[in-house]
Amino acid sequence: MPASLSLTLLSTMDAVSASQWDALVDPDQPFLRHAFLQALEASGSVCPATGWQPCHLTVWQGAQLVGAMPLYEKYHSYGEYVFDWGWADAFERAGGDYYPKALSAVPFTPVPGPRALVAQGIDPQAVYAALAQGWREHCQRQALSSWHLLFADTPEVEAWLKQCPELISREGVQFQWRDQGFGDFDGFLASLTSKRRKMIKRERRLVAEQGFELVRLSGEQITPDALKHFYRCYAITYQERGRPPYLTQDFFTRLYRDMPDALLLVQACLDGQPVAAALYFQGTQTLYGRYWGSEVLADCLHFEACYYQGIEFCLEQGLTLFDPGTQGEHKLLRGFAPQRVRSLHYLTHPGLADAVATFCREEGHQVAAYRDAAFAALPYK
């Protein structure tokens, strides 16, 4: 690390000002904003009691923040969406302690993007070197088994592999929609094969025939009552699986207070009353579909609220990319293309590192083949 730079670990986002942190953040990435990360902590969604201990890495040049990266000590692998339960089980059966581990990610948010934040005019490699020193020393000092970097974008993955060649890369796939000059929703439909165009029209018609009206509320159009209703719907999706929600209602209340410009709420109403809701986040070029829930069972309502409303909004607002959330081959049939995503992993135990590296190489071949097959199955003409 250059002598002009210093490294500090922060136990809370409150230890750095929003203006300093946000000066490093790409405006297309609402999940890296100070308000989002701070709301996770202040609401109790992310804290030691829930298995997340914040210890964010920050790089300083005098009094100026020139680099940063979210960092957490984790005591489980929930809320990550890059699954390492098998690694943990194998290591613990061999007598090791996999937890706690270190994690650089946005909690509960499998959205690709930068994870290392670097100020303009600063040598990125110098910041990466400082951050690498930070997570290495923290792993050693706290006797952590590993460090994991999740959903970093391609330029950052390549920069990290150059900085730390021993990192293990793991392949993944997500589905995203991109505007290809469609103009409007009819233009999007016209680009599809007849079979898929008819399918989408039929699904949208079925939602209307069931009596649903879809309403979009942006920013300050969202009322406190609408937000409370959304949270009730969101909680239902977890209750149906027999577990409490990851995120508290206070978390969403704080987002509504501190970053309403990033919020888009889609409500599905029956007889003028909302019965289902989807909450999106908006960047400068990208729409992010995140949370959904419903008080009713209805055919195709999820597709309408979470996919078609999002595509339509992007086309109306000039947004070029729609990330609807993780998982789901059903997205492929609706025009969402497979995208390569990667995570990086550093494991302190040589035997575990060798085993994981072998696993990731073999898995990577299968993932690449799946991604190619998915591309071939896209419904565009």
Higher-confidence residue: 348 or 326? 348
% the chain with pLDDT above 90 = 96
3-class secondary structure, 197: helix
Phi/psi of residue 90, nearest 5 degrees: -65, -45
Question: Does residue 315 contact residue 188 with C-beta atoms inside 8 Å?
Answer: yes
Both tokens assigned to 232: 């009730």
How buried is 197 (Cβ within 10 angstroms: 0-12 exposed, 13-18 middle, 19+ buried)?
A: middle
- HSE, side-chain direction, 13 A CA sphere, residue 253: 11
Both tokens assigned to 152: 């970093």
Interval 229-267: pLDDT, tens: 999 999 999 998 888 999 999 999 999 999 999 999 999
Cβ atoms within 10 Å of 173's Cβ, excluding its own: 16
Mean pLDDT for 178-202 is 98
Helix, strand, coil percent content, the chain, rounded in steps of 5: 45, 25, 30
From residue 202, alpha-carbon distances to 104, 195, 303 in Å are 42, 11, 12
pTM of the model: 0.96
> Looking at residue 13, what is its pLDDT?
98
Mean pLDDT for 186-201 is 98
3-class secondary structure, 356: helix
Average pLDDT, the chain: 96
d(CA 25, CA 32): 7
Nearest partner of 72 among 43, 101, 41, 49, judged by Cα? 101
Q: Which domains does the chain have, with CATH numbers?
A: 6-173+341-376 (3.40.630.30), 180-319 (3.40.630.30)
Contacts (Cβ under 8 Å, ≥6 apart) of 93: none
Mean pLDDT for 117-130 is 96
d(CA 296, CA 240): 12
d(CA 115, CA 160): 11
Interval 58-97: pLDDT, tens: 999 999 999 999 999 999 999 999 999 999 999 999 999 9
> Looking at residue 329, what is its pLDDT?
81
> Looking at residue 177, what is its pLDDT?
98
Mean pLDDT for 32-43 is 98
Both tokens assigned to 322: 């729609």
> Looking at residue 293, what is its pLDDT?
96
Nearest partner of 32 among 151, 138, 124, 131, judged by Cα? 151
Q: Label residue 302 by pLDDT band (50, 70, 90).
A: very high
d(CA 310, CA 294): 17
Mean pLDDT for 93-112 is 97
d(CA 243, CA 16): 34
3-class secondary structure, 7: strand
Only one residue has tokens 């990550």, namely 80
> Looking at residue 269, what is its pLDDT?
98
Cβ atoms within 10 Å of 47's Cβ, excluding its own: 15
> Looking at residue 1, what is its pLDDT?
67
d(CA 297, CA 10): 45
Pairing of strands 263-270, 273-282: antiparallel
Cβ atoms within 10 Å of 248's Cβ, excluding its own: 19
3-class secondary structure, 278: strand
Nearest partner of 251 among 106, 8, 37, 24, judged by Cα? 37
Q: Following CA atoms 102, 8, 126, 36 in sequence, which dihedral angle do they give, to the nearest 10 degrees?
A: 60
> Looking at residue 24, what is its pLDDT?
98
Interval 194-223: pLDDT, tens: 999 999 999 999 999 999 999 999 999 999
Contacts (Cβ under 8 Å, ≥6 apart) of 116: 67, 68, 69, 127, 128, 131, 152, 156, 159, 160
d(CA 198, CA 4): 62
